[in-house]
């Protein structure tokens, strides 16, 4: 049987798995024009639902932009910058300008220095080889920062197409849905055109008679902790409202567990404050360093929760990284949050293997 191709995005349709790209209910396969569920939701409800591909598939698809002219909007998750940034994006997209957009700004404590955060994001992107024209902070759910961004996008795109790219779980679909509702009156938005040379479809949303906004599937970055936790645990560790700092006065040789997904050991230094910025629903447990390993063995999934049983079956073992802190520093656990520690201490951070802890100057 000849494969059926979605007339919206060009992906091969299937009826087995609703979470996989190209899903079409079996009852709709006999229609004259077949479009996948994702395209159907856009065409009839102006809603984009994200889909994901493997790293290689994503890179093959995004590299097609190199031969086009347009503006790249790279969406990242402020709470998972290192896990959601795409360092190779500049190489894949050629000379097209890139705007870096930090989503979920509404979740940050009000004391956050947003100017400092933007400068840090731009500098960090450059260190990873990603040159960006400008940095914007937005909340795609609440809409903050969107009006200014939309105005700037019109200036930067200079009458050319716009391509929205990002890793999975950064809020890209919510961003595009808001962009559609604020900038376009989408009628017959789905087109039969998709990039030649690949079966990996873009969603084509007309901006005007000559140009379009293209949604691209999210790239799966294995450095994101979201790929190692269950759907239930993901809800626990993902902030949904402003994060409230939790302060712990620690002596050396004490440990903080963040659920059972990560931990920080205070190895050496004077008694001081460790300020924790995580989802308000994530339990934090303090114990003596000498008891930390045994507690993990006995209480993982109980006192130290999450993980639940599903996550425990997927979660890699914890790996350790030690740091001597010389200035006020954030210890960042990608996809979870961060801990601000003072100068003059030595700490060891533990995170699931492959989800590498990083440090940065304190943002708050």
Comparing 29-38, 49-58, 140-149, 313-322, which segment has the lowest mean pLDDT? 49-58
Could you give the CA distance from residue 278 to residue 360 in angstroms, rounded to a whole number?
Answer: 16
Give phi and psi for 294, each to the nearest 5: -65, -40
Ranges of CATH 3.40.50.300 domains, the chain: 47-219
Identify the H or E element spanning 331: strand 329-333
Using a CB cutoff of 8 Å and minimum separation of 24, what contacts does 110-115 make?
Answer: 110/242, 111/364, 112/363, 112/364, 113/363, 113/364
Q: What's the pLDDT band for 201 if we cut at 50, 70, 90?
A: low
Looking at per-residue confidence, does 266 or 192 come out higher?
266
Residues 124-178 pLDDT 10s: 999 888 889 999 999 998 999 999 999 999 999 999 999 998 887 788 878 887 8
Q: Which two tokens stand for residue 182?
A: 């604020």
Domain topology for 47-219: Rossmann fold (3.40.50)
Q: Which two tokens stand for residue 335?
A: 């996809």
Q: Which two tokens stand for residue 65?
A: 């932009």
Residues 308-362 pLDDT 10s: 999 999 999 999 999 999 999 999 998 899 999 999 999 999 999 999 999 998 9
Please list, in sequence order, all residues whose beta carbon lies within 8 angstroms of the beta carbon of residue 82, skipping any fewer than 6 positions away.
223, 332, 334, 356, 358
Q: Tell me, yes or no, if the pTM score tops 0.85.
A: no
Looking at per-residue confidence, does 60 or 22 come out higher?
22
Query: CB-based burial of residue 100 (10 Å sphere; 0-12 exposed, 13-18 middle, 19+ buried)?
Result: buried
Could you give the CA distance from residue 128 to residue 85 in angstroms, rounded to a whole number?
Answer: 9
Residue 5: beta bridge partners? 12
């Amino acid at each position: 049987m000849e494969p059926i191709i979605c007339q919206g995005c060009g992906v091969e349709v299937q009826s087995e798995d609703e979470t996989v790209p190209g899903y079409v209910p079996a009852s709709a396969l006999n229609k004259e024009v077949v479009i996948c569920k994702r395209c159907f939701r856009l065409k009839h409800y102006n809603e984009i639902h994200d889909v994901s591909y493997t790293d290689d598939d994503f890179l093959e698809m995004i590299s097609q932009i190199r031969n086009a002219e347009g503006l790249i909007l790279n969406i990242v998750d402020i709470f998972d910058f290192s896990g959601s940034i795409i360092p190779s994006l500049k190489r894949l997209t050629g000379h097209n300008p890139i705007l870096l957009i930090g989503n979920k700004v509404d979740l940050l404590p009000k004391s956050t220095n947003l100017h400092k955060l933007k400068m840090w994001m731009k500098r960090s992107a450059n260190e990873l080889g990603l040159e960006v024209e400008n940095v914007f902070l937005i909340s795609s759910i609440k809409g903050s920062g969107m009006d200014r961004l939309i105005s700037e996008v019109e200036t930067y795109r200079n009458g050319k197409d716009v391509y929205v790219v990002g890793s999975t779980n950064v809020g890209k679909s919510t961003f595009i849905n808001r962009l559609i509702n604020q900038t376009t009156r989408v009628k017959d938005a789905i087109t039969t055109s998709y990039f030649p040379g690949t079966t990996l479809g873009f969603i084509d949303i007309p901006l005007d008679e000559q140009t379009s906004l293209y949604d691209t599937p999210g790239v799966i970055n294995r450095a994101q902790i979201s790929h190692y936790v269950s759907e239930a645990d993901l809800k626990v560790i993902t902030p949904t409202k402003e994060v409230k700092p939790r302060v712990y006065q620690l002596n050396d040789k004490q440990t903080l567990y963040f659920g059972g997904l990560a931990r920080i050991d205070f190895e050496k230094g004077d008694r001081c404050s460790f300020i924790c910025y995580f989802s308000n629903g994530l339990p934090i447990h303090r114990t003596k360093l000498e008891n930390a390993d045994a507690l993990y063995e006995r209480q993982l999934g109980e006192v130290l929760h999450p993980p639940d049983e599903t996550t425990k079956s997927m979660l890699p073992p914890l790996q350790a990284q030690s740091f001597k802190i010389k200035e006020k520093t954030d210890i960042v656990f990608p996809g979870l949050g961060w801990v601000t520690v003072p100068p003059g201490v030595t700490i060891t951070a533990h995170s699931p293997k492959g989800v590498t802890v990083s440090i940065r100057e304190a943002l708050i």
